[in-house]
Structure 1
């Protein structure tokens, strides 16, 4: 008996045994996913106190998660038996260069940037905001020029460019196709899907217009939602090109989301291989939450660009000992302080990556000290002005976490009382709600409101296996950073904030998740189909089929079921957007009065000021002959009433006849009325006698 057991375990170490375990791991993963999906429909799924007792009757997520752990063990031991061995991160030779420490204008650049930081917080900064911004740009340019002269950088020759294009032509064609597809998916019908243009987008537009019109000159100050004014600058350029439109605001997100797909490919190509890069880029290109926030004009989507871009530049610099890559990484790291608050995590991930490499590679710091210094100095020069603002207004820097963090805003205490849980149980529940949305639960509210999890069931299986693979290879700095990248965004962006899953704050984790899926799929295919040209072609077919199937499911869901289900639509946002076609033509020759639902502060919504900035607006609280006679009558007047105040607008029309009456139904739910309008020429109002 003992001999048979020994033979059995010995067989598991063979190639055939490894293959059996790998396939068993896939089968167990499918069972785990099925188990989680069924458990979701049970009433005790989110009752953390019943999780342990409910394992047996499949009313808690623990049974499915335990099955996933078993599946991961089978999958990984199968890969081990099949000789899975990802190549190490190639690092340039660690010999110390005989480089004369000429620092050029480094100190001057730092001094100019610090000068900007000091003056950016002075009360009169609005008077010289533009010259201050020019001086800041000069400090960055001076640092770049200093390095260019010191390093002897030269523009590539025409023959060199031609040779490079010939060597990489096929790759460029594939990447260009992926990027164009990602752009098309994000730009197609972007004005009306997701519908409608929400008021946070109006805030972005109004802030950008303020810069464009010269009323907000201090780019190092903070504006709406405690975001640095520089974050609104790309939207200013877009408004200058396309006017005060929804497309102008949403186009910035379209381009940012598209670039993040490219950044993911470049990162994977640098630290893994092209195949993983192609898979990850294609998965991210069609991933519904990423597509969704690439089509909304708020800057959360920049999170998904900053992390892969910064990591690519840093790891490229490490691999190739590229001073220019460290310089670019420093500039990107500094700019992360000027955008959406979640983007500030990206420089921390970069520092962790460098720290992990330094621990693993003896002599790294001694060999790379100058490039590391360039990275740090570049980041300081770029970030110094906004850091000066934050230093003098610490409450602004911590505003988002103070407002949203469950430890600061009373949410933790409220949940303890209402649910009868202790603090550890509350945080565990928050973590489950923040993470299970990737594979099994829906994503309600929070700018997405999707009934479907982020990934399809098939992709979810490989995401879980990819997480297991990252843990297995955690001693490799690449997998350590990837693992921390994924979980840091989930924990900091959703777990410790209110109302998880907060999709809008977990966008940085999306590229990491796509890479994890690509890793598991690629390693599985490589292990199963190791030898021969036919096997490689079959592996390519398997990967292509996976990506096409997943992409079809994602695109079909987002542009089909999600859109048809009206999950993003909201009458309040629709009214503030759709009314602009009536209000904006008035310009400064008319006035607009709103008869709105009493408890909704419509006119505080930025959509009105962004889309129709020149029109005077006010509420009309009561319709009587006296209130109408008291209205200014030197301009035409447009009255708009919500559906619940139709009777009052009809009364107004009966008191002052002769105006133009219109009705507007909800665009995609036309059986519901959205608002009524009644427009009067000033002569009719002047002739009115109560």
Structure 2
């Protein structure tokens, strides 16, 4: 599929959208209840819509019919084993088995389910894959470096004070993992946060020790990965022309940076939610069952991170409904 032709209007709209969004962020930070800052955010969104232009025409070179690969009996067997492994993880966690056993069973269910649907095309591709150029790869790499620096520089001293939940997360991890113990991952931990998400927050603890900078480093990792997945999502929706400014605005967003510098599980949602949406749109555009499967898995991961992740499934289903009404294909 041909890349839409560049124009001076689109380039100007992209630049103006970025400038307006950054300026609006500065105004809202100074006066969150003011009118003009939020109005500038709306103007930036409209300017970016002009830059994105009309939806690109779908131009598949060949018509690919839905395809269910051979070996159906084997795939049904793998699917049955995946359900069985998932049920085993649920029962094992509830019955008090050693915590590693349900976790391994849960991971095995994901692998088995992936094998069961691998190569299965459930619908004709709606869009031709866009090739990556060397310049685009370099631009994304530069963007990730900017995002990582914004989230890791002076991490031990900025923010200057500890957020109240940071020492509570550290205390929970110390108590649950003290003496080589392993908690039940499929239960609720401190403040009804899932233990899986709290454990991910301490992913660097075994190597770097348990302290605030270690917990913040985990948040910085997920916040940076969120920028990458946001780029992939916007690229799946449009092209690099939409993806680059979207990811850049997210990389320099004050709120996203703030949450990515706190040793709490909030920044995990900044990664898992766009990941779920990206995989779902990849399934819509490519028609592959594997993409739809992992969209559901990523949506489930949102439920195991921070409480706000419980809003992701209804948001995803609402987006599906809007897409079915306004962009059926």
TM over 0.5: yes
The aligned counterpart of 2:6 is: none
The aligned counterpart of 1:99 is: 68
Where in structure 2 are there 5+ consecutive unaligned residues?
Answer: 1-8, 122-128
Q: 1:173 to 1:133 in 2, by over 3 A?
A: same
Structure 1 contact 242–248 (Cα < 8 Å) conserved? yes
Q: 1:91 to 1:235 in 2, by over 3 A?
A: farther
Matches within 5 A, 1:561-576: none
Residue correspondences, number: 289
The aligned counterpart of 1:195 is: 160
The aligned counterpart of 1:621 is: none
**SS of equivalent to 1:105:** helix
**SS of equivalent to 1:194:** coil
The Cα of 1:68 is off from its aligned counterpart by 5.7
- 2:55 pairs with 51, 66, 87, which one? 87
Alpha-carbon deviations, 1:17-46, whole Å to 9, x = none?
xx9xxx9xx9xxx9xx99xx8xx99xxx98
**SS of equivalent to 2:90:** helix
Greater share of residues in strand: 1
Matches within 5 A, 1:424-443: none
Structure 2 contact 273–299 (Cα < 8 Å) conserved? no
* Separation (CA, whole Å) in 1 of partners of 2:58 and 2:307: 33
The aligned counterpart of 1:461 is: none
Alpha-carbon deviations, 1:33-75, whole Å to 9, x = none?
99xx8xx99xxx98xxxxxxxxxxxxx95xx69x969x97xx8
**SS of equivalent to 1:128:** coil
The Cα of 1:199 is off from its aligned counterpart by 3.8
Matches within 5 A, 1:286-297: 286-297=252-263
The Cα of 1:198 is off from its aligned counterpart by 3.3
The aligned counterpart of 1:181 is: 146
The aligned counterpart of 1:609 is: none
Alpha-carbon deviations, 1:79-114, whole Å to 9, x = none?
7xxx99512584978875252665342122112212
The Cα of 1:203 is off from its aligned counterpart by 2.0
Structure 2 contact 88–102 (Cα < 8 Å) conserved? no
Matches within 5 A, 1:128-207: 128-148=98-118, 151=120, 168-207=133-172
The aligned counterpart of 2:249 is: 283
* Separation (CA, whole Å) in 2 of partners of 1:284 and 1:339: 20
The Cα of 1:290 is off from its aligned counterpart by 1.4
The Cα of 1:218 is off from its aligned counterpart by 0.8
Which stretch of the first structure deviates more once superposed, 202-211 or 276-285?
Answer: 202-211
Alpha-carbon deviations, 1:217-251, whole Å to 9, x = none?
31101110101111122233311010122221100
Structure 1 contact 253–296 (Cα < 8 Å) conserved? yes
Residue 306 of structure 2 is aligned to residue 336 of structure 1: no
The aligned counterpart of 1:233 is: 199
* Separation (CA, whole Å) in 2 of partners of 1:167 and 1:282: 18
The Cα of 1:133 is off from its aligned counterpart by 1.6
- 1:356 pairs with 292, 304, 322, which one? 322
**SS of equivalent to 2:167:** helix
The Cα of 1:281 is off from its aligned counterpart by 1.6
The aligned counterpart of 1:314 is: 280
- 2:82 pairs with 109, 128, 145, which one? 109
Where in structure 1 are there 5+ consecutive unaligned residues?
Answer: 1-18, 47-59, 153-163, 365-690
Q: 1:326 to 1:319 in 2, by over 3 A?
A: same
RMSD of aligned C-alpha atoms?
3.8
* Separation (CA, whole Å) in 2 of partners of 1:89 and 1:350: 24
The Cα of 1:254 is off from its aligned counterpart by 0.5
Matches within 5 A, 1:648-687: none
Q: 1:201 to 1:147 in 2, by over 3 A?
A: same
Alpha-carbon deviations, 1:248-275, whole Å to 9, x = none?
1100111111111111111111112212
Structure 1 contact 110–139 (Cα < 8 Å) conserved? yes
TM-score, length basis structure 1: 0.37
* Separation (CA, whole Å) in 2 of partners of 1:222 and 1:233: 11
CA radius of gyration, larger in: 1
**SS of equivalent to 1:247:** helix
* Separation (CA, whole Å) in 1 of partners of 2:63 and 2:317: 19
- With a CA cutoff of 8 Å and minimum separation of 6, indicate the structure with the bigger relative contact order: 2
- 1:259 pairs with 199, 214, 225, which one? 225
**SS of equivalent to 1:237:** coil
